[in-house]
A and B are shown apart, each in its own frame.
Chain A
Amino acid sequence: MKGLLIKDWYLLKNQKQIMIIPLMGVLFVLTGMESSFIVTFFSLLAAMLPLNTMNYDMIDNGFTYLFTLPVSKKTYLREKYLLVFFALLFGICLGFALAMLSCAVSGKKPDYFALYATGLGGLVGVSLMILITIPAQLKFGAEKARIILLIIVGAITAVVVCGYKITERIFGAKIQEGIAKFLSKLPTDNLTAGLLATGVTILLLLLIFGISYFCSSKIMEHKEF
């Protein structure tokens, strides 16, 4: 795995596009961009980096070359998921730091709880996007993976919206009352709510990572080069 991590480090280092990260950071701080947007944006940007390395691995029969080296399919996948995890962590931390800086520059008082909640929501959303893309990219390549991601995100949105509309039609106002009742039962103090949200986020992330890794393993198991 050490070789793969070093390879990906040099691969990222040699990409000129990576310079966009500090440039965007400076731009967002100077323009006093919305804190929650900064956090989500940098999480997404950082999480895209492992996908980018995977893309380069696949160009020019790179996979064929890579798997002639002392690398197993299992090690390759572990390295990529590890990279996604650390990239997400890096993106979130960078996002938070820049959001704080942006608030300081623009003189706004940061709403820590809202920022934290946005961070968690963004983390789940970005993870979902990235972790759908990895198995899709392994199976169909980068181009088709983007289309598949759009279809899946579209399908999830459609299911949620349609599901809500249908439930609303069947149960009428009861559904809104039910949701309000459920929300009223949730803790209102910031600490308990924050801990609860963190717990739910961790569970969701574990579930998303698990499903994505399982699908990728099955795809890699049957992949030939």
Chain B
Amino acid sequence: MKGCEHMLLTLNHVTKKYPQFKLDCSLELQPGRITGLIGSNGAGKSTTFKSILGLITPDSGELRIFDKEWKNFTEQDKALLGSVLPDADPCRLLTPADCIPVMKGFYPDFEEERYLTLCGQYGLPMKKAFSDFSTGMKVKLKVILALTHHARLLILDEPTSGLDVVMRREVLDMLRDFMENEENGILISSHISSDLENLCDDIYLMQNGQIILHEDTDILLSGYGILKLSEKQFREIDRSHILAMQKESYGYLCLTKQKDFYMDNYPDHVIEKCSIDEIMMILAKGEPVK
């Protein structure tokens, strides 16, 4: 873990124990970066997000936001956070129009003009109650509310969940606009890895409550690769750069961080680029190479 100067977010062995699950998470987020958190269901992503937002109390570890220990976080500090959590909705009776005075009450810096512009731009009816919104409209309103009070850090758990391609793109565009201020940062999780591939600067992979991989997205997409090897090829190949392998009907599926090394030295082997989903799948289901 690097020093935590100028970090938007630092988690150093933040733990939370439940009867069937233990979170032990370490990650950091620098200003100007979008960091992705991926993992299968139950990996601990939501527990991590809830710890950061103070919705659950960690058992131990260091959790700093804007270089400030979370225990000392005040309501004014919290106003610099924006968040979207799945299934956690604003009050169902409120309309987008009602949200203006309400948000002004919570956030002295609420940007009414921008809020109205974004609501108009994304077709949200101002007089309709939140409970009558479609899934897409609900997500859009939650994202707009998170974006319009001069937050510096966005904590977004599955913000594109349940959206169609067009709506997903609109939400991702809003997030890109938010990052025009280089002091800002976003921690985001999504089941749709293509969203994260195109959006994130770096990605943490989480499994069973722990971070098992952290890499820049560029390296993940360009340096990582999949080798499809027969039994004979697997026995003979240099396995020093293989991170994990998985037994398949044809032989072995191996994940490497040094794709170029294998392409140069084993030109006749099947070596392919891989997606974040494939990396996640092999690391989650595969086994380390001895």
Contact = CB atoms under 8 A, between A and B. Distances in A.
Interface in B67-88: 75-76, 78-79, 81, 83, 85, 87-88
Given A61-B87, A61-B88, A4 B93 contact: no
A62 B89 CA distance: 6
Interface string A201-225: 0000000000000000000000011
B108 to A, nearest CB: 9
B71 to A, nearest CB: 12
Interface in A1-60: 2-7, 10-11, 14-15, 56-57, 59-60
A68 interface: yes
Interface string B79-105: 101010101111111110010011111
Contacts of B55: 64, 67-68, 224-225
Chain A binding surface, main DSSP class: helix
Interface in B48-74: 50, 53-57
B169 to A, nearest CB: 25
Interface residues of A, number: 27
Contacts of A225: 50, 55-56, 88
Contacts of A69: 78, 106
A71 interface: yes
Given A4-B105, A7-B105, A60 B92 contact: yes
Contact of A75 (B54, B75, B101): B75
B75 A60 contact: no
Given A11-B91, A70-B75, A225-B55, A3 B98 contact: no
B89 to A, nearest CB: 5
Contacts of A3: 102-107
A212 B159 CA distance: 38
Contacts of A6: 101-102, 104-105
Contact of B85 (A14, A68, A72): A68
B93 A14 contact: yes
B137 interface: no
A67 B49 CA distance: 13
A86 interface: no
A65 interface: yes
Q: Which of A11, A60, A75 has the most CB of B within 10 A?
A: A60
B82 to A, nearest CB: 9
Nearest to B97: A10
A205 B155 CA distance: 43
Contacts of A68: 53, 55, 81, 83, 85, 88, 155
A6 B101 CA distance: 7
B163 interface: no
Main secondary structure of the interface of B (DSSP, over half): loop
A71 B75 contact: yes
A91 B34 CA distance: 52
B263 interface: no
A147 B155 CA distance: 38
A78 B73 CA distance: 19
B199 interface: no
A6 B107 CA distance: 12
A64 B85 CA distance: 8
B75 A10 contact: no
A192 B53 CA distance: 55
B200 interface: no
Nearest to A14: B93
A222 B104 CA distance: 29
Contacts of A70: 75-76, 78-79, 106-107
B129 interface: yes
A56 B92 contact: yes
Nearest to B94: A10
A62 B94 contact: no
B258 to A, nearest CB: 41
Nearest to A71: B75
B102 to A, nearest CB: 5
Contact of B102 (A10, A62, A64, A224): A10
A65 B101 CA distance: 17
Contacts of B85: 61, 64-65, 68
Interface in B19-70: 50, 53-57
Interface of A: 2-7, 10-11, 14-15, 56-57, 59-62, 64-65, 67-72, 75, 224-225
Query: Top 5 closest A-B pairs, CB basis?
Result: A3-B105, A3-B106, A64-B88, A6-B105, A70-B75
10 contacts: A2-B106, A3-B106, A7-B94, A10-B98, A14-B94, A60-B89, A64-B87, A65-B85, A70-B75, A72-B75
